[in-house]
Amino acid sequence: MTKIHPLTSLWLQAVATRHPRVVTNLYAPQGILLGTVAPQILVGRKRIITYFNGFLKKPGLQGTVDWEATQDLPGGLVLLTGCYTFAWRGDSVRARYTFLWGCDPKTFKPMILNHHSSTIPEGG
């Protein structure tokens, strides 16, 4: 079984609520998301929430992590790289991801600075 970093678990728990604002609030105010099915880079919570407004509507959506690697970086940053699978009624997507987590300097809560997710090519 893959050991999942607590910050990845936090994000998956937010996704499981199916509430876009709960997920989006994990991102820095000017956080960056290149979503698995997004046609463009999304910068800032206003743009990021539009992605999750659509993605979280998939019926029966569930996410699981297949594997993950962790790098602790200077300045309290954490880089998480791995592969997850999202399944919903009648469909699924397997994607690779990278999260760069930092800390809100005012609240000391973790926040996503950058999140890249892309589908894994056939045969991968």
pLDDT per residue rounded down to tens, the chain (124 residues) = 568 899 999 999 999 999 999 999 999 999 999 998 888 999 999 999 999 999 999 999 999 999 999 999 999 999 999 999 999 998 999 999 999 999 988 889 999 999 999 998 877 5
Q: Residue 45 in contact with residue 27, Cβ under 8 Å?
A: yes
Quick one: pLDDT at residue 73? 96
Angle at 69 between CA 107 and CA 38, to 5 degrees: 70
Domain range summary for the chain, segments of one domain joined by +: 6-119
Distance in angstroms (rounded) separating the CA atoms of residues 38 and 44: 14
What is d(CA 122, CA 124) in angstroms, rounded to the nearest whole number? Answer: 5
C-alpha neighbours within 13 Å on the C-beta side of residue 116? 6
The token duo for 70 is 């962790």
CATH 2.10.25.10 describes domain 6-119: no
Q: What is the pLDDT of residue 6?
A: 96
